[in-house]
């Protein structure tokens, strides 16, 4: 899933964790991608991304983020929401991956891969089975962009409704 889809989840989570800043809620779904950048030297190449995007390590990173979040905000619920947001990245990637970004063409705004790409999210580590439902194997780049824009609009609507509700004066 691309950035708008991950941001949508962070914005929609605000009513569940009102004590957590929007910035933290927006960064949490990107934690696995940030780890992938940090771990690029370890993960890189044909081995895939097992240390940042593998199911097992995604659960580990999510639990760690949840513990850190609970400690930072002194609130178990906030920690649970932060942990779930980190894990939401894996769930969205599981639905959408593999993403053929290497074959994307701005000129035609479509994937140009010629055949479905195989799953790319490892269950455990580098040589473990790889999974992914491959949504982006079956829709165009335009459809993917529209899907993420709609997700972002829905997440924004949830966030705005929450903010408006909190600002209403109570009688």
* pLDDT tens-digit map of 22-38: 999 999 999 988 888 77
Q: What are phi and psi of 131, to 5 degrees?
A: -130, 170
DSSP letter for each residue of 10-55: HHHTGGG-TTS-HHHHHHGGGHHHHHHHHTHHHH-GGG--HHHHSH
How much is the pLDDT for 96? 92
DSSP helix/strand/coil, 127: coil
How much is the pLDDT for 169? 73
Let me know: does 51 contact 43? Beta carbons within 8 Å: yes
Question: Which pair of structure tokens corresponds to residue 53?
Answer: 């995007």
Is the overall model pTM greater than 0.85, yes or no? Answer: yes
DSSP helix/strand/coil, 110: strand
Q: How far is it, in rounded angstroms, from Cα 20 to Cα 17? A: 6
Among 49-58, 72-81, 82-91, 153-162, which is the least confidently predicted range? 49-58
> Which letter does DSSP use for residue 98 in this model?
S
How much is the pLDDT for 56? 95
- For 82-139, how does the pLDDT look when each residue is reduced to its tens digit (9 = 90+)? 999 999 999 999 999 887 665 555 555 555 555 677 888 999 987 889 999 989 888 8
**Torsion sign across C-alpha atoms 139, 144, 148, 149:** negative
Q: How far is it, in rounded angstroms, from Cα 112 to Cα 115? A: 9
Task: List the chain domain ranges.
Answer: 3-167
**Where does the pLDDT of residue 171 fall: very low under 50, low under 70, confident under 90, or very high at 90 and above?**
low
How much is the pLDDT for 33? 87
| The pLDDT of residue 48 is above 90 | no
- For 138-152, how does the pLDDT look when each residue is reduced to its tens digit (9 = 90+)? 887 788 889 999 999
How much is the pLDDT for 111? 57
Q: How far is it, in rounded angstroms, from Cα 87 to Cα 153? A: 21
| The pLDDT of residue 161 is above 90 | yes
| Alpha-carbon distances, residue 123 vs 59, 103, 110, 158 (angstroms) | 11, 25, 29, 32
């Amino acid at each position: 899933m691309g950035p708008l889809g991950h941001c949508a989840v962070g914005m929609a989570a605000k009513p569940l964790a009102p004590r957590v800043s929007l910035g933290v809620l927006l960064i949490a779904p990107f934690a696995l991608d940030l780890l992938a950048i940090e771990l690029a030297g370890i993960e890189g190449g044909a081995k895939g991304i097992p240390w940042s995007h593998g199911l097992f390590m995604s659960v580990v990173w999510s639990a760690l983020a949840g513990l850190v979040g609970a400690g930072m905000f002194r609130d178990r619920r906030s920690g649970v929401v932060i942990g779930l947001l980190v894990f939401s990245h894996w769930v969205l990637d599981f639905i959408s991956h593999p993403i053929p970004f290497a074959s994307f063409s701005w000129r035609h705004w479509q994937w140009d891969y010629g055949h479905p790409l195989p799953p790319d999210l490892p269950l455990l580590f580098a040589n473990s089975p790889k999974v992914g439902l491959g949504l982006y194997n079956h829709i165009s780049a335009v459809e993917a962009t529209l899907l993420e824009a709609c997700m972002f609009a829905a997440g924004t609507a949830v966030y705005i409704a929450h903010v408006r509700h909190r600002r209403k004066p109570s009688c």
